Structure 1
Amino acid sequence: MTMNIHPELLSVVERFELPDELGFGETLAPVMCRLDYADGAWGEGQLLPYADISIDPSAKVLHFAQVVFEGLKAYRGEYAQIKLFRPHMNAARFNRSCARMLMPELPESLFIEGVSAVSACVAPLVPGLPGQSLYLRPLMFGTQPSLGLAPSDSFTFLVIASPSDALITGALRVVVERGMTRASTGGTGNVKASGNYGASLHSSMAATDSGFNQPLWLDAREQKYVEELSAMNFFAVIGGELHTPGTGGTILPGVTRDSVIALAGDLGIPVREGRIAIDTLLQQIRSKQCTEAFACGTAAVVAPISVIGEKDGAMYELPEVSGPVANRLRDELLDIQEGRTPDRFNWLYTAGM
């Protein structure tokens, strides 16, 4: 695509100063990419200084939540190169989300060029300490001004970015959510529609208020089987094997999840994808047959779980909070992402403008 670069963009980057404490998603890079869709076609890409955007109060996105997004990371590699982690997989998932939400396909080349250009433009601001990264947030939303219930015919695609520290540095405490549900069969649980995350906020905040980090969601039909956390996939080590729920149409097929499964296979760790009954899992933790549990996602990478709690006060503490399987998978993944070991899976993509 033709990328129009704002004449003041480089000076904006040069003047930008990173704070001493980055946090996660709190420090916004001073650059964004924008493309607009109208009359059945995508317009020219623009690299712009990060700024507010104007939107009509009757825009479809504000009334019918016609918005999807992605999350991926870029890392500082050798010779100051900026490496994106598996952006093509994010591009494919982005378009699956768009299809489900009746939004136009964004050609993979445009998605890759957008995240690549932003990453390359802010290369001096990509932090390089272990655990740090440039977190990228591509998103698309309907902009047509109309109050009628119908899909938008105009859209905006943006890429914004945040130089960030690690999201999670310790172990997670999670609570089983047996009342509310996040996604059901035939819904949008298997795509990255923003409404999924809005629907999780009530239980997520209740979990935080009760001393936990996140809820552990169960299936909507029977409230019996483990699905995922609000923003992470779930794994457990049971009998020396790695178990994770199959995606099955209600669980987001995470990029990190896919990477963990590939790494486990490469390391000779047996992987089982399928149903995990919550009551059986809790019994296996008590009997120490389940030795570890962890969550994974783009933001968190691999985060060990120390305890799974119930709202009635029952607590199930994992025998190995920072166990050998989770630690090895996390170290292997970060070593590839941060360039300390060869990229034997060809997961890294060099950013450029």
Structure 2
Amino acid sequence: MSTDTANRIHIEKATTSKISQVDFNNLMFGRVFTDHMFVCDFKDGKWQKPQIMPYQAMTIEPSARVFHYGQAVFEGMKAYKDEDGKTFLFRPQQNFERINKSSARMAIPEFPQNYFFEGLEALLKLDNEWIKPGVGSSLYLRPFVIATEPAISASPANEYRFMIICSPAKAYYNEPVRVLIAEKYSRSADGGVGFAKAAGNYGAQFFPTSLAQKKGFQQIIWTDASTHDYLEEAGTMNIFFRINDKLITAPTNDRILDGVTRKSVIQLAEDLGIDCEVRQITVKEIKEAAKDGSLKEIFGAGTAAVISPVSAFEHAGDVFEITAADKSYAQLFKSTLLNIQHNLSEDKHGWRHEIK
């Protein structure tokens, strides 16, 4: 069945749903996808009419520029449902602005705001049953753009595809993680694309992360490319350090992603009266704090994991175990964020965006 919503988005509904085949209590992150997807192509110098269609494989030529020059960016978002059946997004304007910032850096045309929000809302209404209520449950949303023009000359593409796919999700990390502080490999460099959610940023992390995993660590805390003296990010998350009762996180720059969860934690720290410094922090400072007992917590912050505590770190052969803190900031921020996201507490900053 085909309908047309406000003459702007063409919608083709799936004839049957896969939802009855899904065990929502035993989900592997990012492996199960909902019944529909959003698609919009850029051709002839403009974005074409958006479509929502059944989730399906797509045909793309082997000469598509994305395969050769890596023109691809993405976002990570979540939809939440409260006990009354209302559905919410969390700060979606930030994701919209960031995917266009990422696109601009990769010479990809920016996507129209009305297409983005109307597409998201129409998609979530169609796949509403896939959004389960309860703290910890969500629907992960993956907007992304790829260069589709079939040409292998080394230049920006003239054709692109913007898509949104959805995957039901539970908790990303169930236990605290052990991390290795980078001494050789880098996530990004000055003047590069570290601030963008470019696909290649993440592919480049896989090899050094696999080396860390062989040593018994789940993730890497990345350091600056020039000196490896300054702590910047953790795996696919921004990173926070608690020294005594002070929270510290690195400032954003062209190497560090301006995370939505990161800026939310900074605001919540202010709301809760927690001293939060945004400044450069050295490996030496953290190691000394670990030795003298003033390092109370390290945790990552990101959309998929929300807040992920770190239980130990290694650097230059030195291993430091981190004892779980009394009155943990990580737990406080996680519960506060989840309560806002699931409409269980006041949203005084207007972060929730209801799908009506």
Stretch of structure 1 that moved more, 114-123 or 216-225: 114-123
Residue 110 (structure 2) aligns with: 105
Which of 342, 348, 353 is the aligned partner of 2:352?
Answer: 348
Question: Contact conserved, 2:82 with 2:134, CA < 8 A, in 1?
Answer: no
Return the letter of the residue paired with 1:319. T
Which of 275, 280, 284 is the aligned partner of 1:275?
Answer: 280
Return the letter of the residue paired with 1:13. S
2:200 counterpart of 1:195: yes
Residue 88 (structure 1) aligns with: 93
Q: Note the alpha carbon deviations across 1:175-201, whole angstroms, 9 max, x for none.
A: 111011110000000010000001101
Residue 208 (structure 1) aligns with: 213
Are residues 323 and 211 of structure 1, via their aligned partners in 2, closer, same or farther at CA, if it must alter by over 3 Å?
farther
Q: Secondary structure at the match of 1:99?
A: helix
Return the letter of the residue paired with 1:295. G
CA apart distance, 1:130: 2.1
2:324 counterpart of 1:320: yes
**Distance across 2 between alignment mates of 1:172 and 1:40:** 46
Stretch of structure 1 that moved more, 303-312 or 328-337: 303-312
Which of 2, 18, 22 is the aligned partner of 2:22?
Answer: 18
Return the letter of the residue paired with 2:11. I
Q: Note the alpha carbon deviations across 1:18-70, whole angstroms, 9 max, x for none.
A: 22412211211121000011011111111111000111100110000000000
CA apart distance, 1:78: 4.5
CA apart distance, 1:278: 0.6
Return the letter of the residue paired with 1:18. V
Q: Secondary structure at the match of 1:79?
A: coil
Return the letter of the residue paired with 1:3. I
**Distance across 2 between alignment mates of 1:15 and 1:320:** 39
Unaligned runs of 5+ in 2: 1-6
Question: Contact conserved, 1:173 with 1:307, CA < 8 A, in 2?
Answer: yes
2:301 counterpart of 1:257: no
Q: Indicate the percent of aligned positions where both proteins have the same amino acid.
A: 35
2:138 counterpart of 1:133: yes
Unaligned runs of 5+ in 1: none
CA apart distance, 1:145: 0.8
**Distance across 2 between alignment mates of 1:63 and 1:247:** 29
Residue 181 (structure 1) aligns with: 186
**Distance across 2 between alignment mates of 1:116 and 1:256:** 22
Question: Contact conserved, 1:166 with 1:300, CA < 8 A, in 2?
Answer: yes
Q: Secondary structure at the match of 2:32?
A: coil
Q: Secondary structure at the match of 1:212?
A: coil
TM-score by length of 2: 0.95
Q: Note the alpha carbon deviations across 1:173-229, whole angstroms, 9 max, x for none.
A: 101110111100000000100000011011111122211110111000111000101
Q: Note the alpha carbon deviations across 1:46-105, whole angstroms, 9 max, x for none.
A: 111100011110011000000000000000124312111111100000000000000001
Return the letter of the residue paired with 2:342. E
Residue 10 (structure 2) aligns with: 4
**Distance across 2 between alignment mates of 1:18 and 1:114:** 24
Return the letter of the residue paired with 1:351. I
**Distance across 2 between alignment mates of 1:119 and 1:127:** 12
Q: Note the alpha carbon deviations across 1:114-136, whole angstroms, 9 max, x for none.
A: 22222221111112232110000
**Distance across 2 between alignment mates of 1:14 and 1:183:** 39
Question: Contact conserved, 2:296 with 2:322, CA < 8 A, in 1?
Answer: yes
Are residues 65 and 323 of structure 1, via their aligned partners in 2, closer, same or farther at CA, if it must alter by over 3 Å?
farther
Q: Secondary structure at the match of 1:339?
A: coil
Which of 310, 314, 317 is the aligned partner of 2:315?
Answer: 310
CA apart distance, 1:322: 7.2
What RMSD in Å do the two structures reach over aligned CA positions?
Answer: 1.5
**Distance across 2 between alignment mates of 1:322 and 1:178:** 31
Are residues 15 and 338 of structure 1, via their aligned partners in 2, closer, same or farther at CA, if it must alter by over 3 Å?
closer
Stretch of structure 1 that moved more, 203-212 or 186-195: 203-212
CA apart distance, 1:230: 2.1
